[in-house]
Amino acid sequence: MNLRAKIMASLVVLAFLGGCTEHKPINTTTDSITIKKDTTPHRQLYYSHPPRLPGQWTVADIVQDYSASTKGKLNPYFTKAKVSYPPKEVTLIALKQEKKLELWARDSGEFRFIRNYNIQAASGVAGPKLRQGDKQVPEGIYRIAGLNPNSHYHLSMKINYPNEFDLFHAGQEGRIAPGSDIFIHGKAVSIGCLAMGDEVIDELFVLTAQVGAENVKVVIAPHDLRNHPLKSESKSLPRWTPVLYSIISQEMKPYYRR
Residues with active-site annotation: 185, 193
* Burial class of residue 72, CB neighbours in 10 A (0-12, 13-18, 19+): exposed
Q: How far is CA 87 from the centre of its chain?
A: 20
Sign of CA dihedral 133, 15, 122, 57: positive
Residues 216, 204 contacting (CB under 8 angstroms): no
CA distances for 194 relative to 5, 82, 124, 210, 258, angstroms? 32, 28, 11, 21, 27
